[in-house]
Amino acid sequence: MPELPEVEIIRIGLEERIVGKKIIQISLLNPPSFHGDSLHAQGQKVLNVFRKAKVLVINLSRELTLLFHLKMSGQLIYRPKSYQLKARSFSGGHPTQDMQREMPNRSTRVIFEFNDGSKLFFNDQRKFGWVKLVNSSQLSVDSFLNKLGPEPLEREFNWEVLKDHLLRHKKTHIKVALLDQTVVAGVGNIYANESCFLAGIDPGIRVSQLNDDQFKKIHKGIVVSLKNGVKHGGSSKTHFVDPEGKKGLFLNFAYVYGRDKKPCKVCGSLIKKIKLGGRGTFYCEGCQTN
Ligand SMILES: [Zn+2]
């Protein structure tokens, strides 16, 4: 599942390429992947591209909005009309070998064609992802979006906002609370682990035990780790095959996530892995002493 930085990278990539263009045709290769009447979006212009947590939001003319959730295996691939413009291609989402090759492919579910002949392909091998067309006015009442907590990369997200939201879960382990999408929107397992490390905080400490200094450190840890993720192209940019032949994520910027039994990059202690709230939790006993 892509985390917030991956979706932010897609947002930036699409913003540069599709804003101002008109959608002239939408082809539904797998109709259940598209919710709403796609005909309404045809002929509409792309006004802007933004993001709410892990949902990509494309605002169109006529008060229409397209929402994309990539879930486990979604991809958004943009291709300019002519081969000469290949450098303008863009691929984002779950990494696969064939995402750089010819489109559409077997996983393509929806194709958007723009007035300049360029195309946006929504690919989704496992079909858990979705595209939704809604009236823009419905966004504020969309039940999924409404439940989300503050957006961590927006200026309004400060340590006091975080503290306020965390204190609704006083008995919860801090790392588990960070995964709650009503506390902070879009933080998944990788960044919850990394945030606790950067804050120097034991992931198993309960929210009720934290003081203001620690809330400030966790806030900073969330923002810094997410920004690092965006800077490094997200967590799933590079795939590698581990010795057992399984594909895994190669996170060369991570301090703790996926690094159990490896030495801490800061103090050299071996990174430990435990389970908290059913999720793999990685931490350094040397650095996370608070
Ligand atoms: Zn350490």
| Side chain identity at residue 115, one-letter code | N
pLDDT reading at 82 higher than 90: no
Name the residue among 190, 187, 188 with its Cα closest to residue 253: 190
Cα–Cα distance list, 290 to 173, 196, 254, 286 (Å): 13, 10, 20, 10
Q: What is the pLDDT of residue 235?
A: 63
The larger pLDDT score, comparing residue 90 to residue 135, is at 135
Average pLDDT over every residue of 23-29: 98
Q: Which amino acid is at 215?
A: F
User: In 115-199, at which residue ranges do the beta strands (DSSP E only) sit?
Assistant: 119-124, 130-135
User: In the chain, which ranges are E strands?
Assistant: 23-28, 34-35, 46-52, 55-60, 64-69, 74-79, 90-93, 108-114, 119-124, 130-135, 239-241, 247-249, 272-276, 279-283
Using the predicted structure, report yes or no on whether residue 32 has a pLDDT greater than 60.
yes
Overall average pLDDT of the 214-224 stretch: 97
Q: What is the pLDDT of residue 6?
A: 84
Mean pLDDT, the chain, rounded, equals 90
Confidence of residue 83 (pLDDT cuts 50, 70, 90): low
The residues that are catalytic are: 2-3, 54, 279
pLDDT at residue 234, as a whole number: 66
**For range 46-75, the mean pLDDT:** 94
Does 264 score more than 90 pLDDT? yes
What is the per-residue pLDDT for 249? 47
Top-confidence residue, 227 or 23: 23
Q: Measured in angstroms, how far is the CA atom of residue 33 from the centroid of ligand 1?
A: 44
More confidently predicted of 74 and 252: 74
Q: How far is the CA of 256 from the centre of ligand 1 (A)?
A: 9
| pLDDT recorded at residue 85 | 64
Q: What b-and-e string marks burial along 168-201, b requiring 16 or more CB atoms within 10 Å of the CB?
A: ebeebbbbbbbbbeebbbbbbbbbbbbbbbbbbb
Q: What is the pLDDT of residues 33-43, one digit of tens each?
A: 999 999 999 99
Q: Ligand 1 centre and the CA of 198: distance in Å?
A: 10
pLDDT value, residue 92: 83
- Name the residues around ion ligand 1, CB cutoff 5 A: 264, 266-267, 269, 284, 286-287
Tell whether the model's pLDDT for residue 91 goes beyond 50.
yes
